[in-house]
Amino acid sequence: EDVHEADAASRELFLYLAMTMRIGICMVITYREDEVGPAHPLRALLIDLQRERRLAQLSLAPLDSVGVERMTAALLGKDATSELARLVHERSQGVPFYVEELLKATVDASPGAPGQLALPRSVSDSVQLRLRRLVKERGPQIADLLQAAAVAGVPLDYPAFLRLSDRAEAEVDVDLAASVDAQLLERLATRTETYQFRHALTREAIEMAIPEPRRRRLHGRVAEALAAMPRPDERAALLAHHFAAAGNEQQAFRYAREGAARALRLGAYGTAVDLLQVAAEAAPDDIGRLETLESLVHALQAGGRATEAEAALRTARELALADADRTAALDVRLADVLLMQGRRSEAMMAASRAAAALEGHEGPTLAAALVISARLSRVENDHERAVQLAERALAIARGCHERAIEASALTVLGSARVRLEGANGVPDLEEAVAVAKSHDLGAELVVASVELVLALRSLGRWDAARAAAEEALAIARERGLEFAQARLLTELVHIHYTQGRYRDARDSAERAVAMVRQGTTLATVARSLLCTLLTLQGESEAAFALSEQIAIPIAAVEPDRRLGYLSTRARIFRALGDLEAAAVAATRAVEFVLSALPRAGVEAFLAAADVAEARRDGAELRRLMARCDAHFAGRESRPIAVMRAEMDAILADIEGRDAADAFASVAERYAELGVPVRAAYRRACAMIAAIRARGSDLPDAPVRAIRAELVERGALYYVNIIDAALPSGEAPARTPHGATLSFSEVELRTAMLVSRGHTNDRIAAELGVTVDEAEDLVAAVLRKLGVASRAQVASWVLQREEGRPARRH
């Protein structure tokens, strides 16, 4: 073992034994390739053995993530965790020596920052030993060059090495060749001559040994060298980092702002945030810092990072207190950020403060304050006031030729009018979209499109709503607007599942959950919608667990979104067979509608009617119908009319009257509305009602055909209700929570990675397979579980590991 460290006598013994043994004895030796350069004495031994045909070589590839996890478990036992194994795999890049040393260092080290692993002393010593050998051969200048490269932290091309060295070109050539031979550097397979450290830990070991004052000077050298090369603007982010580390705040500020501007143009908001934070620290004065913080807020909002945006705004506001107009403008943005977090009362205070400070100065900032106030009034269901404020904001914005504020005012105006006047508000929303498109206003276009989609949905124009959402989603993707993408995905969830595309709806919900950051109301909305899809697809226990997680934050979301959650809770308890809890949840949903949503609530009344139907409670259904008639008095939209007809059919069935024709009529009306799943379900109810009322034989073929259609759509919530009504229905096979089926070990590992939200690319990297092979593994897991989406795999993993959660009403 470790023959690269063998002395001359040992090497001679190996050669002698290999040349003289003839009795079928195999001698196995191991060595580290990175320790054996062209001039290493072991290389000569290997050549001799190959020439005599006495050698068979086997190169060992780095360990994949599964191998590292096994090694971690073997070395640490009960202290091993998947997260530790992941960190070790990332830092070691699968090299067994580094894996072992990192794990030893973890055991020996005192607790440090989460997610960090200390550089093992053994690794540092090994690298420093090789470096000292090089210095002995080439002089201290080679150490200087490698230290500068280590501080640079990125691959460097040949001209960069020339600028970093104070030696002649020929000497640099020899230094680079010697570093490659010593297995410290490697040349990349690129058209330009570019070098990087062979391993990240090698670079780290060299950098960590440099005293802090010298490291600071080296950062300055690297920055100056990179800045002197052609097209420094393309390296602005890197230059900002090195100038900041060197203490050159002026240059750090300059390049951080340049890099952030470039990142914002490309939609790389995460990079922009990092650079703007550097710029804020390096700003030469309060004005520079204030301007930088304003840009930072823009990047944070675009990325959905509301909490951080609020902190930046409050700091900026402190800097701007002497400037009343600027403070008011910051209050407008603060109100917007607070509204993202569902903190409506605080948002209203900030918007009112801004409007009061600007009263009499009818400019863009006042118009923006009025838009925010109008949005807040609309959220609180004061639609008349929302219209008044939006109309005033629109007039000011048009007078100032502020197109972004004009589009925002039209959006709020249209959405409020839709709630007051129905289709009469749609032209305002269409104009908002047109203004945003014609002036290339990405964020405003997305918000206007979301409200247009909501309006079209409320009018039953599902295809138009879907087209508008998909068009806006494409724009948001192109511009890198993650928060906007998540908003649009949540709208597509509603459209897909209403039109019976449950799997598409599930996919959109999962993507929204993965994309949006926690701490915003949108994160809660996305999880609530996923909860709805889990319920409709028959995964009621997973839905219950998720609904428990968002039970508190759901109170901060807009009332119509909260209604969806409350209605889903009623369906969850019905699916779990707890009809008493379902009745309590349904009553809460209806009470919420009566108190907070004077012009909406069909979803809650339908959920309550479904629960009364399951309980066969005619008296409760009659009370519900009376409340429904009072709530929707004077309104007779198509969805409301279908809902009332459905309640009549349910009541007839509960009271023992023939409800078959009534259910059939309801089914036809749902089909006309473009709601195919509910239509199919009520067609099945019509057939079953005919049996109850007329005593005829069960028409197996038609009911089973409807059941098959619902299974194909993934609507297992309704399938289970139909199965309960069939005397000998063929329910779909269920997989026990703890079963492992016929999964191979790698398939189980794939299921675990899927449950953690890994993409196929990341699964491929973790398992050490190609992306195509990872896709095949994911497909195998989906097929064996009999599910259609990755979230269903996650639900299965959760149930397998944790079992059924305790219920809470």
Could you tell me the CATH number of the domain that includes residue 215? 1.10.10.10
Structural domain count, the chain: 5
Residues 607 and 691 in one domain: yes
- CA 595 to CA 627: how far, in whole Å? 12
- Do 707 and 573 share a domain, yes or no? yes
Is the CB of residue 674 less than 8 Å from the CB of residue 497?
no
Task: State which residues form the domain around 759.
Answer: 745-802
Residue 805 is predicted with a pLDDT of: 42
pTM value? 0.63
User: What's the pLDDT at 688?
Assistant: 86
Q: Are residues 111 and 183 in the same domain?
A: no
Residues 166, 105: one domain? no
Domain end call among 202, 230, 258: 230
Residue 733 pLDDT: 43
pLDDT given for residue 116 in this prediction? 65
Do 651 and 753 belong to one domain?
no
* 194-197, strands of its sheet edge to edge: 156-157, 194-197, 185-187
185 in a domain, yes or no?
yes
Within-domain flag for 19: yes
Distance of CA 10 to the CA centre of its chain: 56
Clarify whether residues 705 and 574 are in a common domain: yes
Domain contains 186 = yes
Distance CA 740, CA 3 (A): 44
Place of tokens 């709805």: 532
In this structure, what are the phi and psi dihedrals at residue 481, rounded to the nearest 5 degrees? -85, 90
Among candidate residues 558, 582, 587, the one with its CA nearest the CA of residue 569: 582
Amino acid identity of 245? A
- Co-location of 625 and 715 in the same domain: yes
Is position 486 within any domain? no
Give backbone dihedrals phi and psi of 602, rounded to 5 degrees, phi first.
-55, -40
**Is 699 part of any domain?**
yes
Domain finish residue from 694, 725, 756? 725
| CA-based nearest residue to 134, from 185, 76, 205 | 185
Residues in the chain, pLDDT under 50: 111-114, 729-740, 802-809
Instruction: Tell me, yes or no, whether 127 lies in a domain.
Output: yes
d(CA 352, CA 806) in angstroms, rounded, equals 45
675 with 797, same domain: the answer is no
The reported pLDDT for the residue numbered 729 is: 44
Could you tell me if residue 693 is inside a domain? yes
Same domain assignment for residues 674 and 707: yes
**Same domain? 75 vs 43:** no
